[in-house]
Structure 1
Amino acid sequence: MSETLRHTSIHRDLAGRRRKLELRLGEIGELERICGAGIGAILLRLSTMQWRYDDIRETIRLGLQGGGASEPDATAIALHYLDPRPKGEFLQLAADILNACVIGVEPGKAQGETAESDAPATSPLSMRSPERSE
């Protein structure tokens, strides 16, 4: 019996288009540095409503970079689409990005990963009207 290969990326509508979001090793390290906690602790803070602003914002910003957005584009999306809105509006999206990274998502599940994104499949490792996530 073969195991199903799980994905670590998700696709969501954000800032007017479908985007790939993924945390790779470089983005994970940067997220942990910025948030002052390990990835598991950040996920726990989100799930227990003890999150900090950067837990949500930086997970999404770095997830965009890991999904193929340039650092300036990911930062612009954070500044113009995430920052002006209520932070809790993006809580589920941040949790979905972290869950995909830590646990993975099965192909074809209701995580949106089967929809096409116009983002490239890879991006350089990072050192550092919005629509709700599905």
Structure 2
Amino acid sequence: MRGSESIVWPGGEHSFRLGIGELRAIEQRSDAGCAVVLMRLLGQQWKIDDVIQPIRLGLIGGGMPEREAQTALDKALDVASLYSLAVTAADILRRFIMWETDDQPGGEPGE
């Protein structure tokens, strides 16, 4: 799995990471596979947990304590619409389920 990535989002700039444990938790909370959640986000057919869980669990996976992650998410919900946070959630999911490695098409060694 990939390491954490720094992402600028309505809650500031933070490290995010979705490992296997976080991806499974998203699936359980959303009652759908991660690819289905991503497609719901991209197709504007999302549910609230489709938006919230990738962000919250991504912050936790990136090293933020659970309580701080919830606080950061709550603050973002005060300043940003759920729609704009859906864009963030889709970006987070995309980064951790659709990335390419050097041995896959599109990846060049050293990129």
Normalising by structure 1, we get a TM-score of: 0.66
TM-superposed deviation, 1:105: 6.2
**Which residue type is aligned with residue 94 of structure 1?**
A
**Which residue type is aligned with residue 55 of structure 1?**
D
TM-superposed deviation, 1:80: 2.3
Q: Matched residues in 2 for 1:47 and 1:55: separation?
A: 11
Equivalent pairs: percent with the same residue? 32
TM-superposed deviation, 1:94: 0.8
Query: Which residue of the partner structure matches residue 44 of structure 1?
Result: 39
* Pairing 1:63–2:63 present: no
TM-superposed deviation, 1:30: 1.0
TM-superposed deviation, 1:84: 5.7
Say whether the 8 Å CA contact 1:9–1:100 is kept in structure 2.
no
Greater relative contact order (Cα < 8 A, sep 6+):
1
Q: Which runs of 5+ in 1 are unaligned?
A: 1-5, 107-134
Aligned structure 1 segments of 4 or more residues deviating by more than 2 angstroms: 6-10, 13-16, 82-85
Q: Describe how 1:1-134 pairs up with structure 2 within 5 A.
A: 7=2, 9-14=4-9, 15-16=11-12, 18-82=13-77, 85-104=80-99
TM-superposed deviation, 1:45: 0.4
Of the structure 1 ranges 84-93 and 43-52, higher mean CA displacement relative to structure 2 is found in 84-93
Say whether the 8 Å CA contact 1:28–1:39 is kept in structure 2.
yes
Q: What CA RMSD, in Å, does the superposition of the two structures yield over aligned residues?
A: 2.1
